[in-house]
Amino acid sequence: MNDVLRKLGLEGPLMGTMTNRSAIRCHGENLEVFSPVEGRCMGKIVQASVEDFGRVAEMAADAFLEWRLVPAPKRGEVVRRIAQAVRSHKKDLAVLISMEMGKILPEAEGEVQEMIDIADFSVGLSRTLYGLTMHSERPGHRMYEQWHPLGPVGVITAFNFPLAVWSWNAMVAMAAGDTVIWKPSSKTPLTALAISTIAGRVLEEESLPEGILNVVIGGRSTVGEQLAADRRLPLISATGSVGMGRHVGRTVASRLGRALLELGGNNGVIVTPSADLDLTIRAILFGAVGTAGQRCTTIRRVIVHRRIFPRFRDLLMDAYRQVVIGHPLDEGVLMGPLVDVDAVGKMRRALAVLEQQGGRILYGGQVLRGGIYDAGTYVTPCICEAEHDTPIVLEETFAPILYLICYESLEEAIHFHNAVPQGLSSAIFTNDLRESELFLSHRGSDCGIANVNVGTSGAEIGGAFGGEKDTGGGREAGSDAWKWYMRRQTTTINWSGELPLAQGIRFGDR
Ligand code: UN1
C-alpha cells in the first residue's frame, strides 16, 4: 500500500486543499483516514478552514476568467491528456480506491474506467456543444441559441464512488469551460488528492492558470456550508444522501443558484413469471451485493410474482451462499467491507427495525469476526422478506440488505415499485413484450433509469444519470447533461434595416 501511496504522490503530511497541483497551506482540524479493510490509518490530512476555502474559491473564480477563453476543442485536448494520464495510473488508483473505501478491485478498476470513459466523452463533447437555430417570425432576422461557460462549479461527492462521480462533473465542466471546486467525502480524501495530482500535472504541463481543478477537504458544517452558500459558484452539483441534498438544495435555492442533485435511491426490480431466472439471479446478485450494497443504484427491493416466489427465493439464497467476503484486493472475493463500523451499526439497526415491523430475515446480516474480519466492517449480505409498505423498506439503508416482496398482478407490482419516496433506477425481468413495454411506459416505472433484463446499477456514462422525486431531479454524465454546466443565451440579430416587432406589435409607427 505504501508503494501505491508513494507512486500517487500521497506521502507525508497532506494538505486539505489543492489548486491544480499546488497544495495550499491549510488551517483546519486534522483528519485521519482509516481503511475499512484492516482498520489501519492510511494518511493524515490538515483540513481546510472556512478561510482556506475562501482563498480557493477566489482562485477558481479568477481561473474561470481565463479558462473560458480557451476554445472548447482546445479544452477538450486538455481533457484528452488527463484521460491518458489516468490510463497510465489505472491500477494504482484502483488499489487506492479499494483500500480507502472497501470495494473489490475489479469494481474499483471499473470506476477508474468510468472516469476514462467520461473524459473521452467530454473530448467529443468539446466539439459538439451545439445550440439550436430557429426561424424568426420577423423578416430579415436571424435567431439562435448559444452556450457559454457558466462559472466555477462546486461539486460535492460521496464515499462510494470517490473518483467517478467527480469525473462525471469535472470532465464535462472542463469541456464546458468551467472551473471546479470539489469537496470530496471526508471518508475518501486520498483518492481526491491522488486524482488531483495526476490531473494537476497535466494542467501544469499545459501552463494553464492555477485554480482550474481544485479540491477542498473539510467538514460539512464548515467547507460544505460555504460551498453551497458561495454566490461565486453558479452551480452546485451534489451527490449523497437525501438529507444532505435537501439542505444543500435549500441553501443554493435561497441565493437562486442552480443545484444539480443526485441523491438516494431505493431501487426496485420486478421479476415476472416469464423471466429467465438464471440471468435474473446473476443480475440481482451483482446489483444487490456489488460494492457491498453501497451504490446509489444498488438493488434494494425485488418484487416477485407469487407463482415463482418460492423458487426464486431459494435460487437467490443459494447464490448468496456462494459470495466470498474478504480482502477487496484478493482474487475471487465478491464483497469487501462496508465503509466503516458506523455503516455496520446502521445496517444492524435497520434489520432490528425490520423485525419489529413484521419483516423476516431469510439469510445473512451477521457481522463477521476473526482475522481480517476483526476490523468490524465485514458483514454477510442479507435477504429479507417484507411488505411493500413496511416503513423501513421505504428508506434507503446504505448496506447490502435486499427486501423480497410478493405480487399478484403487474399493475400491483408497478404500484408497489413506485410507492417509495425515491426514484433513481429500476428494472423489470421479463421475456414478455407487453410487460416490458408497460413498465417503460408513462404508466410504468417513475424512475430516471428504467431497464429491461439488466439490473439497476452499473449504468454506462453515455446516458444521462439521475432520478426523480427524493433523488433530486438532477442529471449528470452523458446525453445532454452538459447543459447544466453552461449558460444558455438566446440571440436575435436584425439584418433588415427595418424594425418590425414580434407579435405584430405596432409601436409609434408613422
Ligand atoms: C453512485 O452510486 O452514486 O450506475 C453512482 C452505477 C454507477 C454509478 C453509481 N455507474 O452503478
**pLDDT tens-digit readout, 123-172:** 999 999 999 999 999 999 999 999 999 999 999 999 999 999 999 999 99
Instruction: Give me the residue spans of the domains in the chain.
Output: 2-263, 267-452
Question: Is 262 among the catalytic positions?
Answer: yes
Residue 217 has pLDDT above 90, yes or no: yes
Cα separation, 333 vs 185, in Å, equals 25
Nearest Cα to Cα of residue 181 among 271, 335, 359, 52: 52
Question: Which amino acid appears at position 134 of this protein?
Answer: M
Quick one: cell of 110?
471499473
Please tell me the distance from the alpha carbon of residue 476 to that of residue 487, in angstroms, as a whole number: 16
Average pLDDT over residues 15-31: 91
- Which of the following is catalytic: 100, 210, 296, 435? 296
Q: Are strands 425-429 and 449-452 parallel, antiparallel or unpaired?
A: parallel
Residue 67: other Cβ atoms inside 10 A: 22
Instruction: Give the pLDDT confidence score for residue 22 in this predicted structure.
Output: 85
Considering the entire predicted model, what is its pTM? 0.97
CATH class of 2-263: alpha beta
Element (DSSP H or E) covering residue 304 = strand 299-305
Q: Which atom of ligand 1 is nearest to the CA of 262?
A: 3
| 296 C-beta closer than 6 A to ligand 1 | yes
Strands 213-216 and 17-19: antiparallel
165 lines ligand 1 (CB under 6 A): yes
**CB-ligand 1 contact for 456 (6 Å cutoff):** no
Number of the ligand 1 atom closest to the C-alpha atom of 265: 2
pLDDT (tens digit per residue) in 203-215: 999 999 999 999 9
Active-site residue, selected from the candidate residues 262, 396, 435, 476: 262
Residue 297 beta carbon below 6 angstroms from any ligand 1 atom: yes
pLDDT of residue 206: 97
**pLDDT of 510 above 70:** no
Q: Is the CB of 153 under 6 A from ligand 1?
A: no
Return the pLDDT at 24.
86
- Domain pair 2-263 / 267-452, same fold: no
Centroid of ligand 1 to alpha carbon of 461 (angstroms): 10
Q: What is the DSSP string of 410-472?
A: HHHHHHHHH-SSEESEEEEE-S-HHHHHHHHSTTS--SSEEEESS-SS---TTSEE--EETT-
Give 458 Cα–ligand 1 centroid separation in angstroms.
6
Q: Is the C-beta atom of 103 inside 6 A of ligand 1? A: no
pLDDT digits (tens, 9 = 90+) for 377-407: 999 999 999 999 999 999 999 999 999 999 9
CATH of range 267-452; options 3.30.43.10, 3.40.309.10, 3.90.950.20, 2.40.30.110: 3.40.309.10
